[in-house]
Amino acid sequence: MKRSEINNLIHSSVDFFDQMNFRLPPWAFRSPEEWKGQYSCCSEIIDNMLGWDLTDFGFGDFKKCGLILFTIRNGNPRKDKKPYAEKIMIVEELQETPMHFHWSKMEDIINRGGGNLIIELYNSNEEGEFNDTAVIVIIDGIKRKVEAGGTIILTPGESICLEQGVYHRFFGEKDKGKVLVGEVSAVNDDTSDNRFYQPVGRFPEIIEDEKPVHLLASDYIKYL
């Protein structure tokens, strides 16, 4: 992806957050220059990969298959005692996050507002393949049974609890508008805890056609 595309996506995301009355921490808006020399006081942000994040999952078509998000808080078992994480994400209509599960992380996915979020579900078997058994999930404290490959539609205010090993993919429902999606979970580790059904890329290759307006979490090593 071009850096100019990423900058535009960040600008439009900030506008949507404002529209939804969701506020990011002040450091979300620092320029790359403002990060220089800040590691000693901001090591939790940098080491735990907080901040702006974006992926096209290696498909090169962000609108069809991609996700932009901001990690607000996250623990790091090697460095601190925090056992939880929180993200805020923007999911466009029919923009897919591919089928995957987590080996260790248990999470709640929350529709914070906007359109509807569609989530497709499968249990996994010992080989990491789809299981044909029904999936039992909790929707805001209420148990639901979903047939293998079935979907749940989360309307604004609804949330789903996803346990380890439950395959899920999600996208915004057509003609309902983009969705503000929250995630509250155990510590997030994208380097080792994600099992995608089909191999995908995590961080896009960036063509630096202009300077970054704000750093992505994947930029920290390069710039700091």
Instruction: Assess contact for 5 and 13: CB atoms under 8 A.
Output: no
Q: In whole angstroms, what is the distance from residue 31 CA to residue 29 CA?
A: 6
CA-nearest of 222, 200, 185, 215 to 58 is 200
Instruction: Assess contact for 138 and 123: CB atoms under 8 A.
Output: no
Q: Identity (one letter) of the amino acid at 201? A: G
Query: In the chain, which residues have pLDDT < 70?
Result: none
Q: Name all domains of the chain by residue range, CATH numbers in brackets.
A: 3-223 (2.60.120.10)
Query: Which CA distances in Å does 88 have to 10, 23, 99, 177, 209?
Result: 13, 10, 19, 17, 27
How far separated are the first and last CA of the chain, in Å rounded? 21
Give backbone dihedrals phi and psi of 131, rounded to 5 degrees, phi first. -105, 145
Helix (H/G/I), strand (E/B), else coil: 27: helix
Query: Residue 223: what pLDDT?
Result: 83
Q: State pTM to two decimals.
A: 0.96
What is the distance, to the nearest Å, from the Cα of residue 186 to the centroid of all Cα atoms in its chain? 14
The alpha carbon torsion through 38, 39, 43, 45 (nearest 10 deg) reads 50
Query: Residue 203: what pLDDT?
Result: 84
Instruction: Assess contact for 51 and 26: CB atoms under 8 A.
Output: no
